[in-house]
Structure 1
Amino acid sequence: MSTIIPNGSVNYTELTKNYMGVLYSSKFAEFLNTTQTGYAHSSSGIEFNLLLKTLFTSLCFCTVQLTFFCFFRSIFKYLYQPRCYCVPTNERMDPLPRGFLTWIIPTIKCSNAFYLSMGLDTYFFVRFISILLLFFIVIGVLNMVVLIPVNWTGGAPNNSSVTGLDKLSLSNISISNVDRLNAHFIMSLLTIGIFHWLILYELKSFVIIRLSYLSSTKHENSITARTLLITNVPSYLKDKQTLTQMFEVVPDGIKNVWYIYDFSIIEEDVRRIKIALSTLEKAHTIYFHNFLNSKFKHTICGKDSYNLEETSIQHQMNDELSKFDPNLSPKFYPPIFIGPYDIPKLNREIRFKLPGLFRILLFQKKVYMFDWAIQILNEKLESLDEQKLLLRDDSLLKHDKVIIEFNSQRGSNMAHQCLLSQTQGTLDTSFSEIRPEDILWHNLDRSNSFICLVEKYFVTIVFIAIIILYIVPVSFIGLVSQMPLLTQLMPFLSWLYKLPEEVRETISSFLPSLLLSILTEIVMISFRFLTYFKGKLTGAELELDLQTWYFSFLFVQQFLVVTISSSVTVIFKQILDQPTSIPILLATNLPKAATFFFQYIALKAFAFCGTNFLRIDQLILYHTLYKFKDITPRSKFNRLTNLPIIKWGTTFPIYSVYGSIGIAYSIISPIIAVFIIFILSLTLLYYKYALKYIYSHINQSETQGKLYPIALLHLYTGIYCLEGCLIGIFFLSKNNAGNCPMKIQGWIMIIILLATIFGHNTIYNRYVQHFSYLPILSDKQYKDGNGNGNVNNNLNNNITATMTSQSNQINLPSPQHNQDMLYLHPSFRFEYPRLWLPSDSFGIAEKNIEYIQSRIPKLSDGDTSGANIVFKNHTSKKFSIKISEAPPDYK
């Protein structure tokens, strides 16, 4: 044998058969590829020029996309720099200078501290990528300088079993050079040591930064810092006076109490009011279009196009505009509202809306848009008033949750960290830092019941099933890359062989990647949808739960499965049967998959960079669908000002997986650091640009930084894979005499593994309380004279100063609602809407507003300011709507 990595075979067929029992069949095994090793092994030994050839197409696509981005950036400002134009003046960023590449230097120079103004989640994500980048630069340089020469010269003469880039990895070490593994042993200790120093430093910094941020005057005085959501409130405490008296024991007392009232009726009323208002405004645009087309034989867009005398035209306009013309009123099939219906056994409520086209199946006729919308508004505005009266009289049903605002942040945190009731199952769970817009109201109005518990664990089982059975659709997609097998199974695709070989190769390599990306996106959406049914009360709690599950899915499917075996069941079966074989499993599989991840990470980097910078989907939609869909001032305004929002719960795990892969291969194949650095650099460049100029600065589901320590601790999976793999390699490595000279190093690595587990557990237990709680005692002033207290105080002052400085640049909008209604369901805070129509030179908008308000007594103060109709030219009846201000009822 010429290398230290054995080709040892494992009877995967028998393992699968034993595990799956009656479900096992030879055809099923063949389809799922369960008898094969991981897909990544197919890239073992790839030559560098072949790797470049594979990446060339992706590089070209990425270059083209970046070129278009640099060109379009200064043209479509509302798409590529919306935070410079589409937000309130005091929140706008200074526009970047015009020019092809002038955006790069200012983006790179932007300090990480700037992103504190966008919340701790945003700041810590930028810090996470920056720290990973620095870590891989350090260990990458060290390991490549030391290990690549050792690996390159460690092969046996005339050895043909190791080829291509594998010669740069540990796989090239021959049995005659086993002693060279001492270099890998030493560098692994150094890498593990640097990793733990990084974890400890970052967790300590996290605690200091989070404490400084949450203790700042700006945050301390915010209502969210003083508010608790408390569950399982008994019926005898559903009285504000009683609850206030009970909480008098908490320092500084309480200021406000919001009960969770039944909102099912008023929520549906508000939903239909918004739809009816939108229908009215859309009907006016169609009405104006009909007016231009049917009432004048000649275009009335400018004097230059008139063929009639001006006085004659003026008389004609006066006749037509003196009143609302019902003949121009558009018709449509109104939407079908179903529900709300209560399902007591499931403790759920069902409601949905069907498109109006379904009325064709019921042989119903179209109705006038104006008449339908006016009827709905009259009915629902009346019902809205009735519900608000019931709220005022405290006559609505109260659920078993309550939101309490304390007079101080100190009192809120003390209540959060205490057991509030002597009765078990009462006031037993509390949530701090609750944002009104982040509450998941339909989970909040459910009482804790056995059904809720069953639903929660059922979703967990579904998550596990998705992770395991993901191999089924992946196997289908795998057929695409095997064109002979694909055409054999589907003869109608035989025409693919008529294509040039280069085209077939491109299809075979890119189509599976595209389909896998789509499939992974579907899984992410499914996870997000299902997590909601676990009963999470806020979006922040949902993001935290989603982070762990999505990381598990990505790590298993994008690392373990492609590296070790094409079937999760095989991996789990072998681990359960022989836990001690895990190092052997890793040692015989990880080194062979190293080259695959070079290609995988580089392709991901190119795809991410090009797609995200160009935003091709939004660019196309902006010039196609949105032009036909957004035909009212309000819809256009919402499109411009509703900036995209990042869901951090599914963003952190992606880079935790990349980091884990990089750590796992840092010793086995140190050149992996080049590719990790590449993707992290592009990621940092994109997010520093996008977070500042594209994404909304308001994170509704802000976890106050809790995602960051979890993301750091997820990196331990890479450390465990590295240590396990090295243990297997050290014990499997034999010299020419058949001895195992690395046995002592293997035992030391086992001790290192056990120490890592102990350290991981110790670090977690030491810091876990700081993830959720704030300290109540200020004990730093009593520290001894070693200077630690002063250093920490200086750090606190620096963080606070940075936050204050950045807050002056980006002023977060303060709520405009009355605080006595802040934590009520948004429907209770809903005010009468105001009609917003675009002004025109004929005065049609004013006439329509007058007509509509005459038929809806509760609807008043319609307005045309801030929106006007602009004709394409003087001789055309085509027009567009220009927006210059916010709607009159904008909050």
Structure 2
Amino acid sequence: MDSAIIPEGIVNYTELTKSYMGVLYSPKFAQFLNTTQTGYAHSSSGTEINLLLKTLFTSLCFCTVQLTCFCFFRSIFKFLYQPRCYCVPVNQRMDPLPRGFLTWVMPTIKCSNGFYLSMGLDTYFFVRYISILLLFFIVIGSLNMIVLIPINLSGNSDYSEAATGLDKLSLSNISISNVHKLNAHFVMSLITIGFFHWLIIYEFNSFVIIRLSYLLSQKHENSITSRTLLLTNVPNNLKDKNILTKVFDVIPGGIKNIWFVHDFSVIEDDVRMIKVALDYLEEAHTIYFRKFIKSKFKVSLFGKGSRNIDDTIIQKYIKVDFEPRLCPKFYPPIFIGPYEIPKVNRRIRFKLPGFLRILLCQKKVNMFDWSIEVLNSRFDSLDYQKLLLTKDQLLKHNKIIVEFNTQNGASIAHQCLLSQTQGTLDTSFSEIKPNDILWNNLDRTNSFVCLIEKYFVTIAFIGIILLYIVPVSFIGLVSQMPLLTELMPFLSWLYKLPEEVRETISSFMPSLLLSILTEIVMITFRFLTYFKGKLTGAELELDLQTWYFSFLFVQQFLVVTISSSVTVIFKQILDQPTSIPILLATNLPKAATFFFQYISLKAFAFCGTNFLRIDQLILYHTLYKLRDRTPRQKFHRLTNLPTIKWGSTFPAYSVYGSIGIAYSIISPLISVFIIFILSLALLYYKYALKYIYSHLNQSETQGKLYPIALLHLYTGIYCLEGCLIGIFFLSKNETGSCTMRIQGWIMIFILLATIFGHNTIYNRYVEHFSYLPILEDKQYKDWQSTFDESNDRIATRTGCPDLSHKSMIYLHPAFKFEYPKLWLPSDPFGIAISNINYIQSRVPKLMDGCTRGASITFKNDNARDYKIKVSEAPPDYR
């Protein structure tokens, strides 16, 4: 098959590059941007198996070393690799894994997907998503490889025109004389597309049953979140509980409680300063204790070379009074703001390091005195703000949170148009978790400026996707060493390296750098999504999922396979929409080998890095030892388990699935690499979700991410069908006639049917994403009993409190803030008790301070080398 056939009239890519690069255009820069505009993945076309193995060998070695270290360290650093077994309350702990090098593997593999229901629907459906993708590629991938690889391998009778390297195993090896062999690809594509749709429909049915069964389960129905709605754009005449109660009397069951969103700017700042001052106050004790030891017992406390304290000396100094002369002095941090920006309706605040006070010629202050002064003043302000709240004298924003008496009542209100006036009570959000509310967005008025800000962020997303050509072009330089050294002469030393090393660098580095750039973009997208005005973390995750998938698919697939510029792709699509199949057919087969190595490198990097957690391992032995200056700080670090942001996790695997589907017929060998990365991902997440990550997901979407992820897989189907259409119409025999024309027309019909099916599936199930049914059937009841048992188990394990009767649950956290309790580490001299008494005498509201569950010890004769031990939670948590 002559894959170089391109229809006439294609735009001049060089001139187009000049037009959109403008003043930046130069001969070298044009070469740098690859003016041929072909995706740099084409450079991997024809790669031999031995070169691929060389490229992967380095990553395999790193991955093996990291996994070996993980297996060795797992039983040593249990707080790092099994924190859910040790660093959470007893009733929340998982059963520890047995000691041993590989004893963790089988228990992880055998853990059923149903176990993860207790961690929320998002977690369960993600594990299910990976499992379903794995099933699809095992079944379809194996079938396509068995049938198509032998046909591809024997598809070229003319050695001079034969494909090279791994391309011999792909459709690219079918010669003109063997065009008829493409009929096998046509049949297998129908089987692949048919099986895909059967799986999608099955999963959508399962999703609806499982999700609605969970929402209708007795445990969830009794929870406050099931009966609560967040309403926006509340007019001033309705900002009264009595009036709102009458308005909602038409809803079956009526309402139980209403929370207004009060102005929290002052009290929020008070709580923030109280927490900062408390940290400095407790840190001051540690510094004071070290100075006390150094000044009083420099000679007598420790014997030479001894690590133990003499008991007689302890008795001598067991009663110690507070000595102001030993109090440390420091530059307190500089707090700027909060300042209101009226036009954008936002508040800004900054915290600058205290050493900048040197520039202002300020003197150091006593850490104890500064902290005590801040605490006293902020406690008074905190009490005053709470008093204003009780008197209903705080400003009310135009959002309210309403708790209905029944789940059905909340569901009916959620589906109703609540006001005849446009722009009033026009948006409602259900299943709102108190800790998931984005309060700084909630207190904003829905003004025209907010709308402009929202669309500005959208434009920024589009701009990032389009302009990503610049960093991608730099990545392409790494694989073009002559051009790289021409532009950057200081890198000429690369030519001194052995040829095999240079080849490995050229093949390995682009994939690595592309992964790093992708991570940076993900962080940027998450940051910008916040400014779209989303009111909850769940809504933010749902919006981020779509945008991040769009970015990944365009940049990790379209750009590297078709063109190095998104602008060129869009330009050709707009000029000649019918050329899309030709565009796909002439580019996708050439990029297959690139994805073999790209996906393999991603799998090795993901597996080794995530299992070993090298960043946390290094931080534990370096930065954390410096930062853990108080028991409270150490407790928070140990017990604040990492969480997963599903909005940016689902898209990564949707892209892998789409790439695998797009190449499932073109180059069936891709299934081996997709199965490999999915298997490693499933092993890691089943282990990490059970033993490492927090079981609490504050931004729970109740599974809404899953159907979106399934629909994203259609991009792979569309690319597959479009590519096959182009291939069938381009394929000609020795006489020049198109013998696959009929198959091409059938594939066009299949494409139209896929679009129709895609739209039908979405419209059929979309209502189930947000609404509850009135009628139930046996399937729902079967799953409901499963969820009730699961909920009982998780409630017992986690000790989840019943929040249904807490009248302050949906107030801003600052209004619920209670006076903290001082927590100092115990010592054999009673210094902590002395300081607690001194501090509480100056800050009367810091009552019930204690040393229980924390202690401080010295490792050797040096007072600087100390260790803080924590065995219980702070008194505030008890």
Among residues 713, 729, 749, which one is paired with 2:727 in the alignment? 729
Partner residue of 1:787?
none
Among residues 472, 494, 504, which one is paired with 2:492 in the alignment? 494
Q: Is the 8 A contact 1:114 1:806 kept in 2?
A: no
**AA paired with 1:42?**
S
Q: Does 1:800 align with 2:787?
A: yes
Q: Is the 8 A contact 2:307 2:859 kept in 1?
A: no
Among residues 561, 574, 582, which one is paired with 1:563 in the alignment? 561
- Measured in 2, the distance between the counterparts of 1:740 and 1:703 equals 51
- Measured in 1, the distance between the counterparts of 2:750 and 2:782 equals 34
Q: Does 1:235 align with 2:236?
A: yes
Instruction: Quickly say closer, same or farther: Cα 1:751–1:852, change in 2 above 3 A.
Output: same
Instruction: Quickly say closer, same or farther: Cα 1:3–1:14, change in 2 above 3 A.
Output: closer
Partner residue of 2:642?
644
Among residues 840, 845, 848, which one is paired with 2:832 in the alignment? 845
- Shift of the alpha carbon at 1:495? 3.3
Partner residue of 1:739?
737
Partner residue of 2:141?
140
- Measured in 1, the distance between the counterparts of 2:131 and 2:418 equals 41
Q: Is the 8 A contact 1:730 1:746 kept in 2?
A: yes
**Superposed counterparts of 1:580-595, under 5 Å:** 580-595=578-593
- Measured in 2, the distance between the counterparts of 1:186 and 1:142 equals 12
Partner residue of 1:690?
688
Among residues 775, 782, 790, which one is paired with 1:778 in the alignment? 775
1:351-393 deviation line (CA, Å, top 9, x unaligned): 1111112112112121111111111101100000000000000
- Shift of the alpha carbon at 1:846? 0.6
Q: Is the 8 A contact 2:291 2:326 kept in 1?
A: yes
Q: Is the 8 A contact 1:605 1:682 kept in 2?
A: yes
Instruction: Quickly say closer, same or farther: Cα 1:196–1:843, change in 2 above 3 A.
Output: same
Percent identity of the aligned residues? 75
- Measured in 2, the distance between the counterparts of 1:679 and 1:21 equals 38
- Measured in 1, the distance between the counterparts of 2:314 and 2:650 equals 64
- Shift of the alpha carbon at 1:596? 0.8
**Superposed counterparts of 1:107-186, under 5 Å:** 107-186=108-187
- Measured in 2, the distance between the counterparts of 1:870 and 1:821 equals 41
Q: Does 1:363 align with 2:361?
A: yes
- Measured in 1, the distance between the counterparts of 2:825 and 2:308 equals 27
- Shift of the alpha carbon at 1:310? 7.5
**Superposed counterparts of 1:756-775, under 5 Å:** 756-775=754-773
- Measured in 1, the distance between the counterparts of 2:251 and 2:790 equals 30
Partner residue of 2:811?
824
Q: Is the 8 A contact 2:859 2:867 kept in 1?
A: yes
Partner residue of 1:431?
429
Q: Does 1:97 align with 2:84?
A: no
- Shift of the alpha carbon at 1:3? 4.2
Q: Is the 8 A contact 2:853 2:870 kept in 1?
A: yes
Partner residue of 1:784?
none
SS at the partner of 1:159?
helix
1:677-722 deviation line (CA, Å, top 9, x unaligned): 0000000000000000000000000000000000000000000000
Among residues 377, 390, 393, which one is paired with 1:392 in the alignment? 390
Partner residue of 2:196?
195
SS at the partner of 1:670?
coil
- Measured in 1, the distance between the counterparts of 2:367 and 2:766 equals 57
Among residues 865, 869, 875, which one is paired with 2:852 in the alignment? 865
Partner residue of 1:441?
439
Instruction: Quickly say closer, same or farther: Cα 1:666–1:531, change in 2 above 3 A.
Output: same
- Measured in 2, the distance between the counterparts of 1:460 and 1:521 equals 19
1:314-350 deviation line (CA, Å, top 9, x unaligned): 55x26xx542112211111111111111111111111
- Measured in 1, the distance between the counterparts of 2:307 and 2:427 equals 73
Q: Is the 8 A contact 1:300 1:877 kept in 2?
A: no
**AA paired with 2:41?**
A
Partner residue of 2:34?
33
Q: Is the 8 A contact 2:218 2:788 kept in 1?
A: no
Partner residue of 2:662?
664
Instruction: Quickly say closer, same or farther: Cα 1:809–1:387, change in 2 above 3 A.
Output: closer
- Measured in 2, the distance between the counterparts of 1:323 and 1:797 equals 62
- Measured in 1, the distance between the counterparts of 2:757 and 2:248 equals 40
SS at the partner of 2:875?
coil
Q: Is the 8 A contact 2:414 2:430 kept in 1?
A: yes
Partner residue of 1:783?
none
**Superposed counterparts of 1:135-534, under 5 Å:** 135-298=136-299, 300=301, 314-315=315-316, 317=317, 322-534=320-532
Instruction: Quickly say closer, same or farther: Cα 1:508–1:213, change in 2 above 3 A.
Output: same
- Measured in 2, the distance between the counterparts of 1:652 and 1:479 equals 30
SS at the partner of 2:231?
strand
- Measured in 1, the distance between the counterparts of 2:377 and 2:722 equals 68
SS at the partner of 2:580?
helix
Q: Which runs of 5+ in 2 are unaligned?
A: none
Q: Is the 8 A contact 1:15 1:573 kept in 2?
A: no
- Measured in 2, the distance between the counterparts of 1:313 and 1:107 equals 50
SS at the partner of 1:535?
coil
- Measured in 1, the distance between the counterparts of 2:502 and 2:496 equals 9
SS at the partner of 2:798?
coil
- Shift of the alpha carbon at 1:518? 2.2
- Measured in 2, the distance between the counterparts of 1:556 and 1:683 equals 23
1:729-777 deviation line (CA, Å, top 9, x unaligned): 00000000110010011001001101100110111011111111111x2
- Measured in 1, the distance between the counterparts of 2:50 and 2:485 equals 30
Partner residue of 2:535?
537
SS at the partner of 2:823?
coil
1:832-890 deviation line (CA, Å, top 9, x unaligned): 11110000000000111111111112221111101011332589773211111000002
Partner residue of 1:653?
651
**AA paired with 1:66?**
L
1:531-558 deviation line (CA, Å, top 9, x unaligned): 0000000000000000000000000000
Q: Kindly report the root-mean-square deviation, in angstroms, between the aligned alpha carbons of the 2 structures.
A: 2.2
Instruction: Quickly say closer, same or farther: Cα 1:779–1:874, change in 2 above 3 A.
Output: closer
- Measured in 2, the distance between the counterparts of 1:805 and 1:277 equals 38
Instruction: Quickly say closer, same or farther: Cα 1:326–1:305, change in 2 above 3 A.
Output: same
- Measured in 1, the distance between the counterparts of 2:557 and 2:675 equals 18
1:245-282 deviation line (CA, Å, top 9, x unaligned): 11111111111110000000000000000000000011
**Superposed counterparts of 1:692-731, under 5 Å:** 692-731=690-729
**AA paired with 1:139?**
I
Q: Is the 8 A contact 2:217 2:788 kept in 1?
A: no
Larger deviation, residues 705-714 vs 794-803: 794-803
- Measured in 2, the distance between the counterparts of 1:308 and 1:860 equals 31
Partner residue of 2:5?
6
Q: Is the 8 A contact 2:162 2:175 kept in 1?
A: no
- Shift of the alpha carbon at 1:515? 2.9
Q: Which runs of 5+ in 1 are unaligned?
A: 781-789
**AA paired with 2:57?**
F
Q: Is the 8 A contact 1:116 1:806 kept in 2?
A: no
- Number of equivalent positions: 876
**AA paired with 1:272?**
M
1:554-613 deviation line (CA, Å, top 9, x unaligned): 000000000001111111100111000000000000011111111111111111000000
**AA paired with 1:827?**
A
- Measured in 2, the distance between the counterparts of 1:743 and 1:304 equals 90
Q: Is the 8 A contact 1:19 1:573 kept in 2?
A: no
SS at the partner of 2:586?
helix
Instruction: Quickly say closer, same or farther: Cα 1:802–1:15, change in 2 above 3 A.
Output: farther
- Shift of the alpha carbon at 1:311? 6.4
1:664-687 deviation line (CA, Å, top 9, x unaligned): 000001111111000000000000
Q: Is the 8 A contact 2:301 2:309 kept in 1?
A: no
Partner residue of 1:70?
71
- Shift of the alpha carbon at 1:493? 3.0
TM-score (norm 2): 0.96
SS at the partner of 2:160?
coil
**Superposed counterparts of 1:601-640, under 5 Å:** 601-640=599-638
Partner residue of 2:873?
886
